[in-house]
Structure formats: C-alpha cells, structure tokens
Chains A and B, each alone.
Chain A
Amino acid sequence: MIPAQFDYQAPATLEEAVSLLASDPDGAKILAGGHSLIPAMKLRLAQPQLLIDIGRIKSLAYIREEGDQILIGATTTHYQLESSDLLKRICPLLPECAKSIGDVQVRNKGTIGGSIAHSDPAGDWPAAVLALGADLVLVGPHGERTVKAEEFFVDLLTTALEPGEILREIRIKKPSGRFGHAYQKVPHPASGFAVVGIAVHLELNDDNSCKAAAIGVTGVSVKAYRAKGVENALAGTSLDTDAIAAAEKHVCDGVDPNSDLYASSDYRCQLARVYTRRALQAAKANVQ
C-alpha cells in the first residue's frame, strides 16, 4: 500500500522535464496520470528514485485539429477524449475506446500518453492508435522525433522510447471519405483490462467494398499489434458475412497468444476472432 521513498519534481515545461529525465534516465520515471505507475509503486514492484510529474504541464493536455491532422497532447485524460465533441464528430473511434477504459475514476485521471508509453499488453489505447495509424511524437535530449505507432510497441512493456525520451503528442490523420469504426473488448472481470480488445478503422469505396481495414489488437499478445492478415483478407471484399468470416481467422496469425487463469491461448484466439467479426460488423454498420 505504501510506496518506497522517491524525490518529486513538477517541471513547468516539457523542456525542463526532459532535462530532469536526462539527469537520471535510469532512476527517474515520468508521472502523468499515474494509473499504471502508482499501483505498481504501492506494491513496490516499481521503486523509482525520482518522479517527474508532467501532469501539471497544462500545455500538454489538448485535442485539436491542424490541417488534416488531429493532435492530442500526451497528458490528455481518457475522459477528455471520451467526452470530446470534436472527436465524436471527426474520429469517433477514440471516444469509443476511451469509454471502455477502466472506470470513470481511472478515466478522469489516467492519460492517453501514460497508457501508450506504458504499453501494457492489455491496455486499450495501443489498439486504437494502431488502427488509426497514429504517429507518436517523442521528445528527448537530442530533440524531437516521430515514430509510427506500429513501430512504437516493441515488446512486453517495452516501446521505442529511448532512455531520456518522453511521449509528447499523438498525431492522427483525420479519417476521411466513407469510414466506420469500432472498439470492442472483453474486459477481465477483476481488472477491467482487455482480455481481448479489437479496434477497427474501416474505409469503404463508393460501392461499399472495403477500401482499407485497419485492425489494432490488444490483450492477445505481449504487445498490441496490427492484424495484417485480417486487413489483407478484407481488402477489396464486399465485407459480407463470408468475407468477414474468412478474414477473422487471421487475427492471431504470427503471434504467440497469451494464456492466463481467465483465458487460455486458444480461447483467447477464439475471442479475438469473434470480437474481430463483431467489431467489423459494428464498424460496417456505422459507416456514414
């Protein structure tokens, strides 16, 4: 219940945060909403020497349009994303995903950047940002760089963030044309984390055939991933029952599915297949 001692700094700017992190890249941890980090600290599974609280940098929490991009600041809370009228209008997958995270208290405090940077294998955001083909803007002592979501999630709790780097912004290309979306999840009955979570961003041609499908999968593997096999199988199809049924089979291609007390690997794959289909059907149904 009681974390080990640490030092605490609340920098006013991101630049300060970066230089603080540079001072102790191994012992320091970035604190945003704290909803992954603090429970681990209370069980003393994490014992950082220094917490750098970027949650107080107000300029890091935003949702805005810029050209054909949607820009989301790293410390934007799940609730801000869930309740954003702008996103509901232009990128409804994000609010839908946000709504299924944890519970209202967690959504009020937890942040999208914290969730992505933590890269919990059962976190919800990684699936959504993968499906939306997001770019992640990282800032470090040597400046800024942009990493594609697909390249960001590396392994179990491991990301492309180098020591000393902080996730600053999530950039998403505004969905355009005829698109549908869905995030469907089997929450673990105890933790609420995704046993399986499927994020779908679907683009249709004028004849209702599938122009492109992007599918982010979480909960199934050590890290979230794009279900390329499903995406490829759907491209150009009419998205009818048979096409979806043929495609869903590929959702676990190339991954070694997790197995735990709640769901063995083959059951988890079954859930992934079923929820891929349900998410695709839901996405197809809400195409405008």
Chain B
Amino acid sequence: MKKAINLSVNGVSRTDEVEPRMLLVHYLRDVLELTGTHVGCETSLCGACTVMLDGQAVKSCTLFAVQADGSAVTTIEGLAENGKLHPVQEGFWEKHGLQCGYCTPGMIVTAAQLLERNAAPSREEICHGLDGNLCRCTGYQHIIEAVEYAAKKAGQS
C-alpha cells in the first residue's frame, strides 16, 4: 500500500515510504520534522502551508506527498541562504509583518514567489499575489509594507 518517494527538500535528498493519502504538509512536518510549514484550514484557503514545489508556491495541504515524488521542495526553513535572511524575511521583521507568526511562513513563501515574478509590484498586485493567504493578526498593512520593503531591498542588491 505504501509508496516509495524520492524528493529533495531544502537541498537535502530524501527517500521514504508513505501512505498515498499522506498530505505533503504532514510528510514535511511529521516525517521530516520541518514544522515551520503550518496547517490553518482544510479547504485550501488559508495558505499557512505554502511551500515551493519545483520553484512554484503551492499549498502543501492540497497535495499528497506522492505527488511530490521526484520534485524539489523548499520550505520556510530553506529560504535563508547560508544564514542570510531572504529579503522577504527581512522585510517582515523590519516592517512588523507578523504578530502571532502562524501564517508567516506561508505568507513569506508566497511573497517570495510574488517578487520572483514581479520585482516591483504595486500595492494592488501585492494584494492580488497574497490572495491565497489569510492573516488574522496584522490587518495586512504591515505585510504589504514588508513586501514593498523586500522588493526595494532585492532591487538594490
């Protein structure tokens, strides 16, 4: 019944046997102990579980781990390179883009995707890009400012 999967997570290759129904988010959290990716709903609407799958932001609660076989996954834990924060992470810290922090990993991964595709987004484009992520604490204003900060910062480097 179990299926073998082989994937790269944050640059580390992993091989495991999983039940087909195991959600990618549970594989990351329970098997690989990468608990930075969170679960906030069960209807694919809150975005707390967002990770990069082959460079594309996806909701890891709406994917089975078997679907990620052969893919490269980047989670929030893998976003900083060599200990240097990703500009979006910096932006969230600098602009107070988080309070309880629960939505933050998904929000940051999604924002990173947004800036990869649009280096200088308008406020409206930021809101459109973050449409799949809910935050109940910040009221979004500081998150928008955090993304603007990151865009500026990334543009300078």
Contacts and interface: CB of A to CB of B under 8 A. Distances in A.
Tell me, yes or no, whether A and B come into direct contact in the complex with CB atoms closer than 8 A: yes
Interface of A: 1-8, 10, 31, 34-35, 38-39, 41-43, 51, 53, 55-56, 79, 83, 102-106, 108-109, 190-192
A39 B44 contact: yes
Interface string B63-88: 11011010000000000000000000
Interface residues of B, number: 33
A34 B20 contact: no
Contacts of B62: 34-35, 38-39, 109
B156 interface: no
Contacts of A8: 3, 20, 64, 66
Given A38-B62, A108-B57, A5 B21 contact: yes
Contacts, number: 90
Contacts of A6: 20-21
Nearest to A43: B42
Nearest to A99: B128
Given A42-B42, A43-B43, A104 B114 contact: yes
Interface class of chain B by DSSP = mixed
A38 B63 contact: yes
Contacts of B141: none
Nearest to A83: B117
Contact of A10 (B39, B66, B133): B66
Contacts of B17: none
Contacts of B114: 104
A34 B44 CA distance: 11
Nearest to A55: B67
A191 B45 contact: yes
Contacts of B64: 8, 34, 38, 51
Contact of A103 (B39, B69, B131): B131
B36 interface: no
A105 B57 contact: yes
Contacts of B58: 105, 108-109
Given A5-B20, A7-B20, A38-B63, 4 more contacts: A5-B1, A55-B67, A105-B58, A191-B45
Nearest to A53: B67
B89 interface: no
B66 A105 contact: no
